[in-house]
Structure 1
Amino acid sequence: MNGDGVPVRCPTCRREHVYVPPAYPCVCGVPLAPPIQRGAAPSPITHRTWTDAWVTVRCRACGRQSQWPQPELGCSCGCVLKVPVRPVTAPPAPVQVPRPSGAAARTAFRPLTIRNARDAVTAAGLYLTWLGFRDVLQAEPPPASGIDLRGRGLVARVDPTTRPVSLKAVECLWLHGVTTSARSVHFSLAGYAQDARARADQLRVPLFVLDLTGTPQPVNDAAQELVATGA
């Protein structure tokens, strides 16, 4: 991870800024920040699309390639700038989904490509069904509780935003599970805040990170155990 500031000049007002890219935890646990392309000119963001909100980043520790939030910088002149990232030129390694040792009959998980927030919820639901949870259904419309998926003995939340999941979100999900005697499972596209991950470890809440291929990766021991044993 490069934690040094990178000089960025606004193309509109020519102000100079020092930009430090935010770091999020890789699924292996190592902090990871997008590698900023020094010397490349930023471009103003005039409209947003789902695809443009993500960049591909490779972890130096484990070699895994994942989708990370596109670095942005707000200038005092009012422009929001897209900060260029060095491209990952090597072909991505094939994604391996852990196979449970006691479930030889389970076929390989077939992911659903994520293009929008609804796809993220659908992909998580397919994965939970693959793990063995029954009657997994999406909430229509999404309730104020934040519970996106329910099944027999299951409540799950899917965060499709570009912000790491907060401590409060993990605790609220766990509380819903306790009050309904259900297992709580959390999915996220942008990872988890450090205190949220620590609390999930204490509460034994499985945490997964989704990449844009729709393949969940376990983040903590509770998630690893769920993958290994199934529902």
Structure 2
Amino acid sequence: MESVPVRCPACRLDQPYLAPVYPCPCGSPTSPPILPGAPPQPVTHRSWNDDWVTVRCLACGRHDEWPQPELCCPCGTVLRIPVRPVVPGGTLPSHIPSPRTAPAPRPPFRPTTIRTGRDAVTAAAAYLTWLGYRDVVRSAERPSSRIDLRAAGLIAQVDSTTRLTARRDVECLWLYALNSSVTGVLFSLAGYAPDAGARADGLRVPLFVMDLTGTPQPANSPADELLSTGA
């Protein structure tokens, strides 16, 4: 699968985007078909209908609802990537791969709807577990370190406020992770300030943006790598 160029309408930055791949229940990898040439739309508010798209599996013809593709620009703007609409009807392939032999490295991620800050931490914990981290635990009360989640070799902070996550948040998490000899991961509902994203890239801190459906999306290269490799 090839990446498509995306231009942020806020800062005019061009950057490549690669649609996420999800495993269909038949075992085949399925990806939302990006609409070439269609401009991305800044996310100014969220609704259930806008955060999901219908995708047809090319192997078995099954229609499923998957998270709407999004990209977090370094300027802090969250962009909704247009997807080609599913055309009703169509023919099914002559061969449906056997679920026992088709590759399926992970089961589909089941998001948790976010209504409160505690829901955001629960969604992040579920995502880390899905990535392969074991024994993910949450702090009973948020300590001064602002570490919300811990697992073997990892700590995570979840910013559920309406402000852009700042550079200082990235640096504080990185320092705490460095002193503990673990990986630090950040989740944010509102996105990241431009200098926060740049600093995270330099420190190799994975950044994820979460929508209200509870589906994290990688917001920088370290997060892409973590999504690809898992724990």
What's the TM-score, normalizing by structure 1? 0.61
User: Would you say the 8 A contact 2:189–2:211 is kept in 1?
Assistant: yes
Structure 2 residue aligned with 1:149: 149
Runs of 4+ in 1 over 3 A off after TM superposition: 60-63, 65-69, 87-92
| Separation (CA, whole Å) in 2 of partners of 1:121 and 1:228 | 22
Q: Are residues 162 and 152 of structure 1, via their aligned partners in 2, closer, same or farther at CA, if it must alter by over 3 Å?
A: same
The structural deviation recorded for 1:148 is 0.5
The structural deviation recorded for 1:170 is 0.4
Residue 217 of structure 1 aligns to a residue whose secondary structure is strand
After superposition, residues 90-169 of structure 1 pair within 5 angstroms as: 92-93=52-53, 94-95=66-67, 104-169=104-169
**1:36-85: CA deviation from partner (whole Å, max 9, x where unpaired):** xxxxxxxxxxxxxxxxxxxxxxxx7335x85649xxxxxxxxxxxxxxxx
| Separation (CA, whole Å) in 1 of partners of 2:140 and 2:48 | 38
| Separation (CA, whole Å) in 1 of partners of 2:130 and 2:116 | 21
The amino acid that maps onto 2:160 is P
Q: Are residues 67 and 227 of structure 1, via their aligned partners in 2, closer, same or farther at CA, if it must alter by over 3 Å?
A: farther
Residue 158 of structure 1 aligns to a residue whose secondary structure is strand
| Separation (CA, whole Å) in 2 of partners of 1:153 and 1:91 | 32
**2:166 equivalent to 1:188:** no
Structure 2 residue aligned with 1:79: none
User: Would you say the 8 A contact 2:134–2:151 is kept in 1?
Assistant: yes
The structural deviation recorded for 1:133 is 1.1
After superposition, residues 1-231 of structure 1 pair within 5 angstroms as: 30=8, 61-62=39-40, 66=43, 68=45, 92-93=52-53, 94-95=66-67, 104-231=104-231
Q: Are residues 67 and 203 of structure 1, via their aligned partners in 2, closer, same or farther at CA, if it must alter by over 3 Å?
A: same
User: Would you say the 8 A contact 1:206–1:221 is kept in 2?
Assistant: yes
The amino acid that maps onto 2:198 is A
| Separation (CA, whole Å) in 2 of partners of 1:88 and 1:110 | 15
Q: Are residues 211 and 143 of structure 1, via their aligned partners in 2, closer, same or farther at CA, if it must alter by over 3 Å?
A: same
Equivalences, count: 155
Largest Rg, 1 or 2? 1
Q: Are residues 130 and 197 of structure 1, via their aligned partners in 2, closer, same or farther at CA, if it must alter by over 3 Å?
A: same
The two structures, once aligned, show a CA RMSD in angstroms of: 2.8
The structural deviation recorded for 1:134 is 1.4
**Identity of aligned pairs, percent?**
54
The amino acid that maps onto 2:202 is Q
Q: Are residues 145 and 90 of structure 1, via their aligned partners in 2, closer, same or farther at CA, if it must alter by over 3 Å?
A: closer
User: Would you say the 8 A contact 2:190–2:209 is kept in 1?
Assistant: yes
Q: Are residues 155 and 195 of structure 1, via their aligned partners in 2, closer, same or farther at CA, if it must alter by over 3 Å?
A: same
User: Would you say the 8 A contact 2:48–2:213 is kept in 1?
Assistant: no
What's the TM-score, normalizing by structure 2? 0.61
**1:5-35: CA deviation from partner (whole Å, max 9, x where unpaired):** xxxxxxxxxxxxxxxxxxxxxxx783659xx
